[in-house]
Structure 1
Amino acid sequence: MTALLTIEELKVSFVQYARGLRRREIVALAGMDLVADRGQVVALVGASGAGKTLLAHAVLGMLPPNATEAGTVTYAGTVVDPVARRRLAGREIALLPQSVDYLDPLATVGRQVRRSARLAGHDDPDRVAATALEARGLGREVLRRYPHELSGGMIRRVLVTMATMGDPHLILADEPTPGLPASDVAAVLADFRTLADDGRAVVLITHELQGALEIADTVVICHDGRTVESAAPTAFSADGSALQHAYTKALWRALPANGFTVPEAQPC
């Protein structure tokens, strides 16, 4: 069976010009691989700057003009170039952005969710907006509020509601939990698990390995713009001996529950 999304050897570089019009190329992604299918949560885990968000933007065809892309992105069995991916964005592929600032601070939540409902083609955006928010535990009073009147967890649920209004097949969730209390983190992660169980593919982009292990079917570890390992959550146990790559083992052993074990520095 063909996976919904397959990324093979994705490479992205940027051209920059320094003083004197000297041209240089900066390699941001040096070889990323990822496979996500319907019914799955695939966690893409790595430190800040590892290339996780850039991969999501590439999948959506949202790279800036000075970017050069190589590799293959396949969606539903068809190789799709950046132009084709932009046509899928917002329809079959949805992005749940990292920052809560994506909500308009000058517009009520209701106005923004209703706009998402209209763009998704719903005939009764008022009813759909209220029903969709209630399905995520947010009462109708939230429709009258402005973003600054909501907690971080509530804003995340609003963003999930807006991102899924068009019933996308693939959801890219970019760092959806930083700064949230434990109860809100659990609720957000459970929401992604439900979305996958309903038949969607979810790519959870995060640097929080422990939370990802609670809901993921596959964990993809990236480092310095490369995929270094793809493993089942069960491989992350005990001392990590079931893991293959040294970086993945180090990441696992450095968690608080594993004693903050950090590899000794190698002699020069």
Structure 2
Amino acid sequence: MPVLQAKDISISFCQYTKGLEQSYQKVITSLHLDVHAGEVVAIVGSSGSGKSLLAHSILGILPDNCQLSGELYYKGAPLSEVELSKLRGKEISLVPQSINYLDPLMKVGKQVETSVPKEKGNKKSVVRQLFSKFGLAPKVEEMYPFQLSGGMARRAIVSAAIAGNPKLLVADEPTPGLDEEGVKEALSFFKKLSNQGHSIIMITHDLEAALQIADRIVVFYAGTTVEMAPVRDFAGAGENLRHPYSKALWNALPQNGFQPLAGSQPLHDQLPKGCFFGPRCSLKTEMCEQHLPELRGLRDGSVRCIHAT
């Protein structure tokens, strides 16, 4: 049984047009995702593809003007708002995208203490153990965020995220702004956590980084899931991948020929009828323009394409 399942998730934002008429703009359409215990699932896609919105829906921290539909399950049980409020920060935790989430006016040790559950006893002792685990010296507890390097701040954020020993960790773009060594260090942290039984959802636009630690890759495009595939399929010329967009991402990497993909991802208010990737796809037929294909299982993965074999 998956630790988390997201089925047919759609998200719309309420907006006002001329004359103060209210309308809803759909930005996420039929997203699917699942993650098992001890597994690292990486969500990749360009900016605006819906990666962070899915993370916020899992944590129940979407803006008030959002309308969410679909189903979320945690350990097989429906994940309601009431249940989320009990689990958030405990069994389900977020590693935020920016280190600016650290309070600039509070010492780092005190900030991590606020994430330690009462039942764990001496909070200072727990923080010290966490910092030691991630290579942070005791003196870091008394430092303010501006005194930390980028790598140290990232480790402090991870420490706060796992202070409650979460079963599921959602890491939203955990590597931007880090140098090569910092990226390796951050990825190593998450791999160690998965080896200890934590489930990790890593949200990133960096496919190369994702391939270093993930067990499976989920590819998003224009607010929907287009493919879920084992990491082993990202090899060669991408012949084992199922969706043409996934193949294009793979072949756009420098080591794979740096092949550009013509066109750009459509805006949410300009989505084409039928397959969202259709206008950029060399396989497009009239059937592709009729409706958005269903996500279907194929060769130990899933794909949203009628031409995939």
Q: CA deviation at 1:104?
A: 0.7
**Contact residue 60 and residue 82 of structure 1 kept, 8 A:** no
1:134-162 superposed Cα distances (whole Å, 9 cap, x missing partner): 11011111112111111111111100000
- Pair 1:101 & 2:100 matched: yes
Question: Which residue number corresponds to residue 76 of structure 1?
Answer: 75
Moved over 3 A (4+): 263-267
Structure 1 window deviating more from structure 2 (10-19 vs 153-162): it is 10-19
Q: CA deviation at 1:107?
A: 1.1
Specify every segment of 5 or more residues in structure 1 that has no aligned partner in the other structure, as ranges.
Answer: none
**Contact residue 120 and residue 166 of structure 1 kept, 8 A:** no
1:11-56 superposed Cα distances (whole Å, 9 cap, x missing partner): 1111111231122211111011111011100001111111111001
Question: Which residue number corresponds to residue 217 of structure 1?
Answer: 215
Greater RCO, CA 8 A, separation 6+: 1
C-alpha distance in structure 1 between counterparts of 2:164 and 2:242, whole Å: 39
C-alpha distance in structure 1 between counterparts of 2:238 and 2:35, whole Å: 24
Question: Which residue number corresponds to residue 167 of structure 1?
Answer: 165
What are the residue-to-residue correspondences of 1:59-208 with 2, within 5 Å? 59-117=58-116, 119=117, 121-208=119-206
Specify every segment of 5 or more residues in structure 2 that has no aligned partner in the other structure, as ranges.
Answer: 264-279, 283-309
Report SS of the residue matched to 2:174.
Answer: coil
**Contact residue 47 and residue 223 of structure 1 kept, 8 A:** yes
C-alpha distance in structure 2 between counterparts of 1:110 and 1:65, whole Å: 32
Q: CA deviation at 1:120?
A: 5.1
State TM-score, norm by structure 2. Answer: 0.83
Give, as a single letter, the amino acid of the residue that structure 2 aligns with 1:234.
R
Q: CA deviation at 1:204?
A: 0.3
State TM-score, norm by structure 1. Answer: 0.95
Give, as a single letter, the amino acid of the residue that structure 1 aligns with 2:163.
M
Question: Which residue number corresponds to residue 54 of structure 2?
Answer: 55
Give, as a single letter, the amino acid of the residue that structure 2 aligns with 1:74.
Y
Q: Aligned Cα RMSD in Å?
A: 1.5
Q: CA deviation at 1:224?
A: 0.7
C-alpha distance in structure 2 between counterparts of 1:97 and 1:157, whole Å: 12
Question: Which residue number corresponds to residue 26 of structure 1?
Answer: 25
Q: CA deviation at 1:70?
A: 1.3
1:113-142 superposed Cα distances (whole Å, 9 cap, x missing partner): 22222x453321111111210110111111
Give, as a single letter, the amino acid of the residue that structure 2 aligns with 1:80.
L
Question: Which residue number corresponds to residue 291 of structure 2?
Answer: none
Structure 1 window deviating more from structure 2 (227-236 vs 11-20): it is 11-20
